[in-house]
Amino acid sequence: MLDDLDDIHPLFHGAPSTTEFKKLRKRIIRNVREAIEQYGMVERGAKWLVCLSGGKDSYTMLAALYELKWRGMLPVELVACNLDQGQPGFPATVLPEFLEKMQVPHRIEYQDTYSIVMDKVPAGRTFCALCSRLRRGNLYRIAREEGCTAVVLGHHRDDILETFFMNLFHGGRLATMPPKLVNEEGDLFVYRPLAHVAEEDCEKFSRAMNYPIIPCDLCGSQDGLQRQQVKQILDGWEKNSPGRRQVMFKALTNIRPSHMLDPKLFDFLGLSLTDDEKIGTNLENSMEIPKLR
């Protein structure tokens, strides 16, 4: 087992020796490995740009990926990247010092997208859409400059569920964050290896490891966001019925197009009875069905 070995990556130095933490760590590593294998993320010899915000999720992702690489289970090169977006009071030295200490190859990029967002977004409107678009564009550029084949993001299971319900409630579509996609230009993969990991596990793990968490003072500081509202709904469901989140997430992996309503995914017009079923019908009912006018 992973915990039976003494030689661990520096990201795991000082890890608690409790049984509870060992189970948590194994569960996270297992979930990440399952997602990587299930969605075909690994290409031998590839190079990944691992996006690090300084939040609990990205720290957990970085540790899990390096654990798998340390054990020879992830044959790719990893480069951590933090995009300093010029937020007032952002502790610019925290991540570089942490990554140096952890012996993690990295790149710190400064781009003042904060000023752009504050200038372009009207008062009272949320920053998320523009902030995300600017951040993603910079990360794609950095990935190309570093010779990476993939941009790796720290969205977890709960992010995926929340996005699904945001699209359901506000977007009029059934869609969410896919664990793997190709960017619009077609030259980079986007991976989400935490797709199977619960947010609660990320929080417990990063807190137990005492990683230097950097709070988001831009989009994360706004009240009344749609995502916050959806999170509250999911929290209520989970409280009343523990395990509800995992059941809903499993449903996203078990979709039956023939039992939905989208004619682009299932050929309802071409649906017909089998020969055996036709034999059992009466002749007077076997006439061609008239087309609706």
Section 243-268 average pLDDT: 96
Residue 279 above 80 pLDDT?
no
Angle at alpha carbon of residue 36, lines to 42 and 53, rounded to 5°? 100
216 labelled binding-site residue = no
Task: Note the CATH number of domain 2-259.
Answer: 3.40.50.620
pLDDT for 8? 73
| Mean residue pLDDT across the chain | 87
Q: Residue 9 has what DSSP assignment?
A: -
Closest CA to 53 of 200, 195, 178, 215: 215
Separation of alpha carbons 280 and 24, rounded Å = 57
pLDDT at 18: 96
The answer to whether 51 is annotated as binding is: no
Position 258 scores a pLDDT of: 95
Q: How far is CA 253 from CA 28, 94, 179, 204, in A?
A: 19, 38, 11, 26
Amino acid at 72: G
Q: Shortest CA distance to 93 belongs to which of 84, 85, 102? A: 84
Inform me whether the pLDDT recorded for 288 exceeds 80: no
* pTM for this model (two decimals): 0.86
Task: Name which of 199, 113, 213 is nearest 155 in CA terms.
Answer: 199
Nearest C-alpha neighbor of 160 from the set 33, 65, 254, 253: 253
Between 257 and 222, whose confidence is greater?
A: 257
Q: How far apart are CA 139 and CA 133, in angstroms?
A: 10
Residue with tokens 């995300």: 132
Q: In this predicted structure, which of 152-161, 212-221, 246-255 has the lowest mean pLDDT? A: 212-221
pLDDT band for 217, please (50, 70, 90 cuts): low
Q: What is the mean pLDDT of residues 204-215?
A: 93
* 130 neighbors 120 (Cβ within 8 angstroms): yes
Query: Within the chain, where are the H helices?
Result: 19-38, 56-70, 94-101, 113-120, 128-145, 157-166, 199-209, 226-240, 244-252, 275-279
Higher pLDDT, 287 or 130: 130
Residue 217 CB contacts under 8 Å (≥ 6 apart), including other chains = 87, 88, 89, 90
- Of 181, 158, 179, 290, residue with least CA distance to 233: 158
Is 219 assigned a ligand-binding role in the annotation?
yes
Indicate whether 5 pLDDT > 60. Answer: no
**Residue of 215, 200, 219 lying closest to 161 (CA atoms):** 200
What confidence category does residue 131 fall into, taking pLDDT thresholds of 50, 70 and 90?
Answer: confident
Is a pLDDT exceeding 60 seen at residue 243?
yes
Among 62-76, 128-142, 202-216, the minimum mean pLDDT is found in 128-142
